[in-house]
A = this chain, B = another copy of it.
Amino acid sequence: MPITTDDLQELRDKLGERFVTDQRAIEPYGKDMSWMLPEGEPLGAVFADRTEDVSIALAWANAHKVPVSVRTGGSGLAGGAVSYPGGLIIALHNMNRILEIDHENGIAVVEPGIINAQLNKELAKEGFFFAPDPASASMCSVGGNIATNAGGLRAVCHGVTINWVRALEVVLADGRVIHVGSKTIKNVSSLNLKELFIGSEGTLGVITQAVIRIEPLNQYDNYTFFACFDSAEDAGYATVMLRACEPRPVSLELIDALGVELVNKRNPDLQIPQPGAALLLGQAEGENAKRVVEEYAQVCREYGATAVQFEEGTRLFQVRRDAYPALSANGMQVIGDVSVPISRLAEAIHGIEEISVKRGRKVSILAHAGDGNIHPIVECGEGTEEAAEAESLLDEVCRMAIGMEGVVSGEHGIGHLKHAEIDHLLSPDTRSVQRAIKQALDPNNILTPGRKI
Protein backbone atom coordinates (compact mmCIF):
# COMPACT_ATOMS: atom_id res chain seq x y z
CA MET A 1 0.00 0.00 0.00
CA PRO A 2 1.48 3.37 -0.96
CA ILE A 3 1.85 5.84 1.87
CA THR A 4 -0.84 8.52 1.85
CA THR A 5 -0.84 12.09 3.08
CA ASP A 6 -3.02 10.91 5.93
CA ASP A 7 -0.44 8.32 6.89
CA LEU A 8 2.24 10.99 7.07
CA GLN A 9 -0.08 13.29 9.02
CA GLU A 10 -0.52 10.51 11.59
CA LEU A 11 3.21 10.57 12.27
CA ARG A 12 3.30 14.38 12.28
CA ASP A 13 0.48 14.49 14.81
CA LYS A 14 2.46 12.30 17.15
CA LEU A 15 5.95 13.72 16.66
CA GLY A 16 5.33 17.33 15.69
CA GLU A 17 8.45 19.07 14.38
CA ARG A 18 10.56 16.04 15.10
CA PHE A 19 9.09 14.48 11.97
CA VAL A 20 10.80 16.30 9.08
CA THR A 21 9.88 15.93 5.41
CA ASP A 22 11.83 18.83 3.89
CA GLN A 23 14.22 16.94 1.61
CA ARG A 24 16.97 19.57 1.92
CA ALA A 25 16.87 19.29 5.70
CA ILE A 26 16.98 15.52 5.78
CA GLU A 27 19.38 14.91 2.89
CA PRO A 28 22.55 14.85 5.06
CA TYR A 29 20.97 12.20 7.27
CA GLY A 30 20.49 9.81 4.36
CA LYS A 31 24.22 9.38 3.73
CA ASP A 32 27.30 8.11 5.49
CA MET A 33 31.02 8.54 4.76
CA SER A 34 31.12 5.84 2.08
CA TRP A 35 30.71 6.49 -1.64
CA MET A 36 27.24 5.00 -1.61
CA LEU A 37 24.39 7.40 -2.41
CA PRO A 38 20.65 7.00 -1.74
CA GLU A 39 18.78 5.67 -4.74
CA GLY A 40 15.75 7.88 -4.26
CA GLU A 41 14.13 10.25 -1.82
CA PRO A 42 13.03 9.00 1.57
CA LEU A 43 9.55 9.91 2.87
CA GLY A 44 11.00 11.79 5.79
CA ALA A 45 13.15 11.66 8.88
CA VAL A 46 12.43 11.43 12.58
CA PHE A 47 14.90 13.56 14.53
CA ALA A 48 14.34 11.63 17.72
CA ASP A 49 14.64 13.34 21.06
CA ARG A 50 13.70 10.41 23.28
CA THR A 51 13.07 6.68 23.21
CA GLU A 52 9.34 7.22 22.79
CA ASP A 53 9.93 9.02 19.48
CA VAL A 54 11.78 6.00 18.14
CA SER A 55 9.07 3.72 19.43
CA ILE A 56 6.33 5.77 17.71
CA ALA A 57 8.31 5.93 14.48
CA LEU A 58 8.99 2.19 14.34
CA ALA A 59 5.43 1.21 15.24
CA TRP A 60 4.28 3.44 12.36
CA ALA A 61 6.87 2.13 9.92
CA ASN A 62 6.04 -1.44 10.86
CA ALA A 63 2.32 -0.91 10.40
CA HIS A 64 2.92 0.62 6.98
CA LYS A 65 5.83 -1.65 6.01
CA VAL A 66 8.11 1.31 5.38
CA PRO A 67 11.87 0.55 5.28
CA VAL A 68 13.87 2.30 7.98
CA SER A 69 17.48 3.49 8.00
CA VAL A 70 19.08 4.45 11.30
CA ARG A 71 21.69 7.18 11.55
CA THR A 72 23.69 8.61 14.41
CA GLY A 73 27.13 10.08 13.58
CA GLY A 74 27.03 9.20 9.90
CA SER A 75 30.70 8.15 9.80
CA GLY A 76 29.97 4.64 8.55
CA LEU A 77 32.00 3.28 5.64
CA ALA A 78 29.75 0.45 4.47
CA GLY A 79 26.56 2.27 3.50
CA GLY A 80 24.71 0.86 6.49
CA ALA A 81 22.93 4.12 7.29
CA VAL A 82 22.09 5.24 3.74
CA SER A 83 18.39 6.04 3.36
CA TYR A 84 15.92 3.99 1.34
CA PRO A 85 13.74 5.40 -1.43
CA GLY A 86 10.32 5.89 0.14
CA GLY A 87 11.86 4.97 3.48
CA LEU A 88 11.98 6.59 6.88
CA ILE A 89 15.21 7.89 8.42
CA ILE A 90 15.56 7.59 12.18
CA ALA A 91 18.22 10.10 13.16
CA LEU A 92 19.53 9.90 16.70
CA HIS A 93 22.00 12.79 16.76
CA ASN A 94 19.84 14.78 19.19
CA MET A 95 19.78 11.90 21.66
CA ASN A 96 23.30 12.69 22.79
CA ARG A 97 23.15 13.04 26.56
CA ILE A 98 25.34 11.46 29.19
CA LEU A 99 22.72 10.47 31.74
CA GLU A 100 24.97 9.16 34.50
CA ILE A 101 28.61 8.56 35.33
CA ASP A 102 28.82 6.01 38.15
CA HIS A 103 32.34 5.96 39.61
CA GLU A 104 31.80 3.12 42.05
CA ASN A 105 30.49 0.68 39.47
CA GLY A 106 32.68 1.92 36.61
CA ILE A 107 29.76 2.49 34.28
CA ALA A 108 28.12 5.35 32.43
CA VAL A 109 24.63 5.60 30.99
CA VAL A 110 24.53 7.33 27.63
CA GLU A 111 22.28 8.04 24.69
CA PRO A 112 23.31 6.70 21.28
CA GLY A 113 24.01 10.06 19.64
CA ILE A 114 26.85 11.10 21.94
CA ILE A 115 30.03 11.56 19.90
CA ASN A 116 32.80 9.19 20.94
CA ALA A 117 35.44 11.88 21.49
CA GLN A 118 32.97 14.12 23.32
CA LEU A 119 32.13 11.26 25.67
CA ASN A 120 35.80 10.64 26.37
CA LYS A 121 36.34 14.34 27.00
CA GLU A 122 33.59 14.36 29.61
CA LEU A 123 34.76 11.10 31.14
CA ALA A 124 38.34 12.36 31.37
CA LYS A 125 37.14 15.21 33.59
CA GLU A 126 36.11 12.55 36.08
CA GLY A 127 39.19 10.39 35.61
CA PHE A 128 37.71 7.73 33.32
CA PHE A 129 37.83 6.56 29.71
CA PHE A 130 35.83 4.44 27.27
CA ALA A 131 38.26 2.41 25.18
CA PRO A 132 36.70 2.04 21.73
CA ASP A 133 38.40 4.76 19.64
CA PRO A 134 37.81 4.47 15.91
CA ALA A 135 39.93 6.81 13.78
CA SER A 136 36.63 8.69 13.32
CA ALA A 137 36.31 9.31 17.10
CA SER A 138 35.70 13.03 16.57
CA MET A 139 32.55 12.39 14.55
CA CYS A 140 31.34 8.86 15.19
CA SER A 141 28.70 8.20 17.82
CA VAL A 142 28.70 5.66 20.60
CA GLY A 143 25.43 4.31 19.22
CA GLY A 144 27.15 3.72 15.90
CA ASN A 145 30.11 2.16 17.69
CA ILE A 146 27.71 -0.29 19.32
CA ALA A 147 25.71 -0.95 16.15
CA THR A 148 28.88 -1.88 14.27
CA ASN A 149 30.87 -3.29 17.22
CA ALA A 150 33.59 -0.80 16.35
CA GLY A 151 37.26 -1.31 17.14
CA GLY A 152 39.92 1.34 16.83
CA LEU A 153 43.52 1.96 17.73
CA ARG A 154 43.41 0.66 21.31
CA ALA A 155 41.49 -2.53 20.53
CA VAL A 156 44.66 -4.64 20.55
CA CYS A 157 44.94 -4.08 24.29
CA HIS A 158 41.49 -3.01 25.43
CA GLY A 159 39.22 -5.02 23.12
CA VAL A 160 36.38 -3.82 20.91
CA THR A 161 33.03 -2.21 21.70
CA ILE A 162 31.31 -5.45 22.73
CA ASN A 163 33.77 -5.65 25.63
CA TRP A 164 32.65 -2.20 26.83
CA VAL A 165 28.86 -2.48 26.86
CA ARG A 166 26.94 -3.76 29.86
CA ALA A 167 23.33 -3.13 28.90
CA LEU A 168 21.15 -1.70 26.15
CA GLU A 169 17.72 -0.23 25.72
CA VAL A 170 16.45 -1.35 22.32
CA VAL A 171 13.33 -0.46 20.38
CA LEU A 172 12.09 -3.48 18.44
CA ALA A 173 10.72 -3.32 14.91
CA ASP A 174 7.15 -3.08 16.16
CA GLY A 175 7.94 -0.25 18.57
CA ARG A 176 8.16 -2.26 21.79
CA VAL A 177 11.02 -1.24 24.09
CA ILE A 178 13.15 -3.87 25.79
CA HIS A 179 16.15 -3.81 28.10
CA VAL A 180 18.93 -6.34 27.68
CA GLY A 181 22.04 -6.93 29.76
CA SER A 182 22.49 -5.43 33.22
CA LYS A 183 24.56 -3.03 35.30
CA THR A 184 26.25 -5.99 36.94
CA ILE A 185 29.67 -7.18 35.82
CA LYS A 186 28.54 -10.77 35.37
CA ASN A 187 25.16 -11.94 34.10
CA VAL A 188 24.04 -15.25 32.63
CA SER A 189 20.37 -14.82 33.41
CA SER A 190 19.12 -14.66 29.85
CA LEU A 191 20.18 -15.46 26.30
CA ASN A 192 22.96 -13.09 25.22
CA LEU A 193 20.54 -10.68 23.55
CA LYS A 194 22.71 -7.66 24.30
CA GLU A 195 25.55 -9.28 22.38
CA LEU A 196 23.17 -10.14 19.53
CA PHE A 197 22.05 -6.51 19.14
CA ILE A 198 25.67 -5.27 19.29
CA GLY A 199 27.09 -5.28 15.78
CA SER A 200 23.71 -5.98 14.19
CA GLU A 201 23.93 -2.70 12.26
CA GLY A 202 20.34 -1.63 12.76
CA THR A 203 18.82 -4.83 11.41
CA LEU A 204 17.31 -6.20 14.64
CA GLY A 205 16.36 -3.12 16.64
CA VAL A 206 17.29 0.50 17.34
CA ILE A 207 19.52 1.19 20.33
CA THR A 208 18.22 4.14 22.34
CA GLN A 209 20.31 3.92 25.49
CA ALA A 210 23.45 2.11 26.64
CA VAL A 211 25.12 1.29 29.92
CA ILE A 212 28.80 1.30 29.04
CA ARG A 213 31.81 0.17 31.00
CA ILE A 214 34.32 2.89 31.84
CA GLU A 215 37.76 2.45 33.38
CA PRO A 216 40.05 4.72 35.41
CA LEU A 217 42.40 6.75 33.19
CA ASN A 218 46.00 5.66 33.15
CA GLN A 219 47.92 8.09 35.35
CA TYR A 220 51.27 7.46 33.74
CA ASP A 221 52.92 8.78 30.62
CA ASN A 222 52.67 7.08 27.27
CA TYR A 223 55.64 6.14 25.19
CA THR A 224 55.48 5.68 21.44
CA PHE A 225 57.84 3.82 19.11
CA PHE A 226 58.17 3.36 15.40
CA ALA A 227 60.19 0.79 13.49
CA CYS A 228 60.91 0.68 9.75
CA PHE A 229 60.92 -2.65 7.98
CA ASP A 230 62.20 -3.47 4.52
CA SER A 231 60.12 -6.60 4.29
CA ALA A 232 56.50 -7.28 5.16
CA GLU A 233 57.50 -10.71 6.53
CA ASP A 234 59.77 -9.09 9.11
CA ALA A 235 57.05 -6.64 10.11
CA GLY A 236 54.62 -9.56 10.36
CA TYR A 237 56.92 -11.63 12.58
CA ALA A 238 57.63 -8.60 14.76
CA THR A 239 53.87 -8.04 15.13
CA VAL A 240 53.29 -11.58 16.36
CA MET A 241 56.15 -11.20 18.88
CA LEU A 242 55.02 -7.76 20.05
CA ARG A 243 51.48 -8.96 20.58
CA ALA A 244 52.80 -11.73 22.83
CA CYS A 245 54.78 -9.23 24.97
CA GLU A 246 53.68 -8.72 28.55
CA PRO A 247 52.21 -6.11 28.78
CA ARG A 248 50.63 -6.11 25.35
CA PRO A 249 51.09 -2.86 23.38
CA VAL A 250 48.22 -0.43 23.86
CA SER A 251 48.29 0.18 20.10
CA LEU A 252 50.16 -1.58 17.33
CA GLU A 253 49.64 -0.10 13.89
CA LEU A 254 51.17 -0.69 10.48
CA ILE A 255 51.48 1.80 7.62
CA ASP A 256 52.92 0.67 4.31
CA ALA A 257 55.70 2.45 2.39
CA LEU A 258 53.28 4.41 0.20
CA GLY A 259 51.33 5.59 3.22
CA VAL A 260 54.49 6.80 4.99
CA GLU A 261 55.62 8.59 1.83
CA LEU A 262 52.34 10.50 1.58
CA VAL A 263 52.25 11.32 5.29
CA ASN A 264 55.82 12.67 5.13
CA LYS A 265 54.89 14.83 2.14
CA ARG A 266 51.87 16.20 3.97
CA ASN A 267 53.63 16.76 7.27
CA PRO A 268 57.43 17.01 6.73
CA ASP A 269 58.01 17.98 10.38
CA LEU A 270 57.37 14.40 11.46
CA GLN A 271 60.56 13.27 9.67
CA ILE A 272 59.70 9.59 9.64
CA PRO A 273 62.40 7.57 7.81
CA GLN A 274 61.02 5.98 4.66
CA PRO A 275 60.70 2.21 5.19
CA GLY A 276 61.26 -0.21 2.34
CA ALA A 277 58.04 -2.05 3.10
CA ALA A 278 56.23 -0.94 6.24
CA LEU A 279 56.33 1.09 9.41
CA LEU A 280 55.20 -0.40 12.70
CA LEU A 281 54.02 2.11 15.23
CA GLY A 282 53.11 1.28 18.79
CA GLN A 283 52.43 2.53 22.28
CA ALA A 284 53.07 1.46 25.82
CA GLU A 285 51.41 2.95 28.86
CA GLY A 286 51.60 2.43 32.59
CA GLU A 287 54.20 2.66 35.27
CA ASN A 288 56.98 0.92 33.35
CA ALA A 289 56.06 2.37 29.95
CA LYS A 290 59.56 3.57 29.13
CA ARG A 291 61.21 0.24 29.83
CA VAL A 292 58.41 -1.61 28.07
CA VAL A 293 58.67 0.50 24.92
CA GLU A 294 62.43 -0.12 24.92
CA GLU A 295 61.66 -3.83 24.95
CA TYR A 296 59.26 -3.39 22.03
CA ALA A 297 61.97 -1.51 20.13
CA GLN A 298 64.42 -4.32 20.84
CA VAL A 299 61.97 -6.90 19.52
CA CYS A 300 61.66 -4.86 16.31
CA ARG A 301 65.44 -4.72 15.92
CA GLU A 302 65.70 -8.47 16.43
CA TYR A 303 63.13 -8.98 13.71
CA GLY A 304 65.01 -6.89 11.19
CA ALA A 305 63.81 -3.32 11.67
CA THR A 306 66.20 -0.85 10.04
CA ALA A 307 65.35 2.35 11.88
CA VAL A 308 63.80 2.24 15.33
CA GLN A 309 62.92 5.22 17.48
CA PHE A 310 60.89 5.85 20.59
CA GLU A 311 59.93 8.84 22.65
CA GLU A 312 57.68 9.96 25.45
CA GLY A 313 54.17 11.04 24.62
CA THR A 314 51.98 10.43 21.62
CA ARG A 315 53.45 12.89 19.07
CA LEU A 316 54.66 10.08 16.80
CA PHE A 317 51.17 8.70 16.67
CA GLN A 318 50.27 11.70 14.54
CA VAL A 319 51.66 9.63 11.65
CA ARG A 320 48.82 7.17 12.04
CA ARG A 321 46.19 9.89 12.36
CA ASP A 322 47.52 11.68 9.31
CA ALA A 323 47.68 8.57 7.17
CA TYR A 324 44.09 8.27 5.99
CA PRO A 325 43.67 12.01 5.27
CA ALA A 326 47.01 11.98 3.41
CA LEU A 327 45.92 9.01 1.31
CA SER A 328 42.48 10.51 0.65
CA ALA A 329 44.08 13.76 -0.51
CA ASN A 330 46.00 11.67 -3.06
CA GLY A 331 42.90 10.10 -4.53
CA MET A 332 43.00 6.92 -2.49
CA GLN A 333 39.56 6.83 -1.02
CA VAL A 334 37.86 3.48 -1.13
CA ILE A 335 38.66 1.55 2.00
CA GLY A 336 38.54 -2.16 2.75
CA ASP A 337 38.47 -3.85 6.14
CA VAL A 338 39.59 -7.47 6.08
CA SER A 339 40.84 -9.30 9.13
CA VAL A 340 43.19 -12.31 9.12
CA PRO A 341 44.81 -14.46 11.80
CA ILE A 342 47.84 -12.34 12.76
CA SER A 343 50.24 -15.13 11.80
CA ARG A 344 49.18 -14.44 8.20
CA LEU A 345 49.53 -10.67 8.26
CA ALA A 346 52.62 -10.60 6.01
CA GLU A 347 51.05 -13.05 3.58
CA ALA A 348 47.95 -10.88 3.37
CA ILE A 349 50.02 -7.76 2.73
CA HIS A 350 51.85 -9.52 -0.11
CA GLY A 351 48.57 -10.78 -1.52
CA ILE A 352 47.14 -7.27 -1.58
CA GLU A 353 50.28 -5.99 -3.31
CA GLU A 354 49.91 -8.68 -5.97
CA ILE A 355 46.26 -7.81 -6.55
CA SER A 356 47.22 -4.14 -6.83
CA VAL A 357 49.90 -4.87 -9.44
CA LYS A 358 47.65 -7.21 -11.41
CA ARG A 359 44.87 -4.63 -11.58
CA GLY A 360 47.19 -1.70 -12.22
CA ARG A 361 45.57 0.25 -9.40
CA LYS A 362 47.45 1.68 -6.44
CA VAL A 363 46.55 0.25 -3.03
CA SER A 364 48.02 1.47 0.23
CA ILE A 365 47.75 -0.50 3.45
CA LEU A 366 46.93 0.76 6.90
CA ALA A 367 46.50 -1.97 9.47
CA HIS A 368 45.60 -2.43 13.09
CA ALA A 369 48.50 -4.85 12.89
CA GLY A 370 48.21 -6.19 16.43
CA ASP A 371 44.68 -7.34 15.62
CA GLY A 372 45.40 -8.61 12.09
CA ASN A 373 42.84 -6.07 10.84
CA ILE A 374 43.90 -4.61 7.48
CA HIS A 375 42.49 -1.57 5.68
CA PRO A 376 43.55 -1.65 2.02
CA ILE A 377 42.92 1.82 0.61
CA VAL A 378 42.34 1.88 -3.10
CA GLU A 379 43.08 4.59 -5.64
CA CYS A 380 39.86 5.82 -7.13
CA GLY A 381 38.82 8.62 -9.48
CA GLU A 382 35.51 10.48 -9.44
CA GLY A 383 32.17 8.81 -9.95
CA THR A 384 30.44 5.69 -8.80
CA GLU A 385 31.77 3.64 -11.70
CA GLU A 386 35.33 4.23 -10.53
CA ALA A 387 34.26 3.43 -6.98
CA ALA A 388 32.64 0.20 -8.10
CA GLU A 389 35.92 -0.75 -9.82
CA ALA A 390 37.76 -0.15 -6.56
CA GLU A 391 35.16 -2.22 -4.70
CA SER A 392 35.71 -5.02 -7.17
CA LEU A 393 39.40 -5.00 -6.28
CA LEU A 394 38.43 -5.14 -2.60
CA ASP A 395 36.15 -8.06 -3.38
CA GLU A 396 39.24 -9.93 -4.55
CA VAL A 397 41.04 -8.95 -1.35
CA CYS A 398 38.11 -10.32 0.66
CA ARG A 399 38.25 -13.66 -1.11
CA MET A 400 41.98 -13.80 -0.50
CA ALA A 401 41.41 -13.11 3.22
CA ILE A 402 38.77 -15.84 3.42
CA GLY A 403 41.34 -18.23 1.93
CA MET A 404 43.58 -17.38 4.87
CA GLU A 405 40.84 -18.16 7.45
CA GLY A 406 40.17 -14.44 7.58
CA VAL A 407 36.94 -12.45 7.44
CA VAL A 408 35.54 -9.70 5.22
CA SER A 409 35.03 -7.07 7.90
CA GLY A 410 37.00 -6.53 11.09
CA GLU A 411 35.33 -3.35 12.33
CA HIS A 412 33.52 -1.32 9.66
CA GLY A 413 30.59 -3.66 9.25
CA ILE A 414 28.86 -5.21 6.24
CA GLY A 415 26.16 -2.63 5.53
CA HIS A 416 25.33 -2.53 1.83
CA LEU A 417 28.78 -2.27 0.27
CA LYS A 418 30.20 -5.49 1.72
CA HIS A 419 26.98 -7.45 1.45
CA ALA A 420 28.06 -9.47 -1.57
CA GLU A 421 31.18 -10.61 0.32
CA ILE A 422 29.31 -12.64 2.90
CA ASP A 423 28.21 -15.05 0.18
CA HIS A 424 31.83 -16.18 0.10
CA LEU A 425 32.34 -16.17 3.87
CA LEU A 426 29.22 -17.70 5.39
CA SER A 427 27.71 -21.06 4.56
CA PRO A 428 24.08 -21.26 3.37
CA ASP A 429 23.18 -22.84 6.71
CA THR A 430 24.79 -20.03 8.71
CA ARG A 431 23.02 -17.52 6.47
CA SER A 432 19.74 -19.29 7.10
CA VAL A 433 20.24 -18.99 10.87
CA GLN A 434 20.83 -15.25 10.46
CA ARG A 435 17.70 -14.93 8.34
CA ALA A 436 15.64 -16.95 10.82
CA ILE A 437 16.64 -14.60 13.63
CA LYS A 438 15.94 -11.56 11.47
CA GLN A 439 12.53 -12.96 10.55
CA ALA A 440 11.79 -13.67 14.21
CA LEU A 441 12.60 -10.12 15.34
CA ASP A 442 11.53 -8.12 12.29
CA PRO A 443 8.88 -10.12 10.43
CA ASN A 444 7.99 -7.23 8.10
CA ASN A 445 11.66 -6.68 7.26
CA ILE A 446 11.55 -2.93 7.86
CA LEU A 447 14.82 -2.48 9.79
CA THR A 448 17.76 -1.72 7.48
CA PRO A 449 16.49 -4.30 4.99
CA GLY A 450 18.84 -6.03 2.57
CA ARG A 451 21.97 -5.12 4.49
CA LYS A 452 24.31 -6.92 6.91
CA ILE A 453 22.52 -10.27 7.07
Q: Which residues of chain A have a CB within 8 Å of any CB of chain B?
A: 102, 104-107, 148-149, 151, 155-156, 159-160, 162-163, 172, 176-180, 182-193, 195-196, 198-200, 203-204, 216, 218-219, 240, 243-244, 246, 286-288, 339-343, 368, 371-373, 405-414, 418, 421-422, 425-427, 429-430, 433-434, 436-437, 439-441, 452-453
Contacts and interface: CB of A to CB of B under 8 A. Distances in A.
B189 A106 contact: no
A388 B147 CA distance: 43
Given A186-B339, A287-B288, A429 B177 contact: yes
Interface centre among A179, A243, A341 (most CB of B within 10 A): A341
Contact of A180 (B190, B198, B410, B430): B430
A437 B183 contact: no
B246 A433 contact: no
A422 B189 contact: yes
A443 to B, nearest CB: 9
B342 A188 contact: no
A219 B246 contact: yes
B184 A340 contact: yes
A83 to B, nearest CB: 22
Nearest to A174: B429
Contacts of A199: 188, 191-192
B182 A430 contact: no
B440 A436 contact: yes
Contacts of A373: 184-186
Contact of A240 (B104, B151, B179): B104
A389 B121 CA distance: 52
B407 A189 contact: yes
B407 A182 contact: yes
Contact of A439 (B104, B203, B440): B440
Nearest to A439: B440
Contacts of A407: 182, 184, 187, 189
Nearest to A197: B192
Contacts of A339: 182, 184-187
Question: Chain A's interface: helix, strand, loop or mixed, by majority?
Answer: loop
Contact of A160 (B186, B286, B452): B186
Contacts of A107: 341
A409 to B, nearest CB: 5
Contacts of A196: 191-192, 195-196, 437
15 contacts: A104-B341, A149-B192, A156-B185, A177-B429, A179-B427, A183-B405, A186-B411, A188-B199, A188-B412, A188-B414, A189-B408, A189-B421, A191-B434, A191-B437, A216-B244
Contacts of A409: 187-189
B191 A453 contact: yes
| Residue of A162, A343, A405, A433 most packed against chain B (CB within 10 A) | A433
Given A179-B427, A180-B430, A193-B437, 19 more contacts: A104-B341, A155-B186, A156-B185, A172-B433, A182-B405, A184-B340, A184-B407, A185-B339, A189-B408, A190-B430, A190-B434, A192-B196, A192-B198, A193-B430, A193-B434, A196-B437, A287-B288, A436-B441, A439-B440
B342 A190 contact: no
Q: Which 8 A-B pairs have the closest CB atoms?
A: A195-B195, A104-B343, A436-B440, A186-B410, A440-B440, A184-B339, A189-B407, A185-B371
A172 B178 CA distance: 27
Contacts of A405: 182-184
B219 A343 contact: no
Given A186-B339, A188-B409, A429 B172 contact: yes
A178 B433 contact: yes
Contacts of A186: 151, 155, 160, 339, 368, 371-373, 410-411
Contacts of A149: 188, 192
A107 B436 CA distance: 30
Given A106-B243, A184-B406, A410-B184, A190 B426 contact: yes
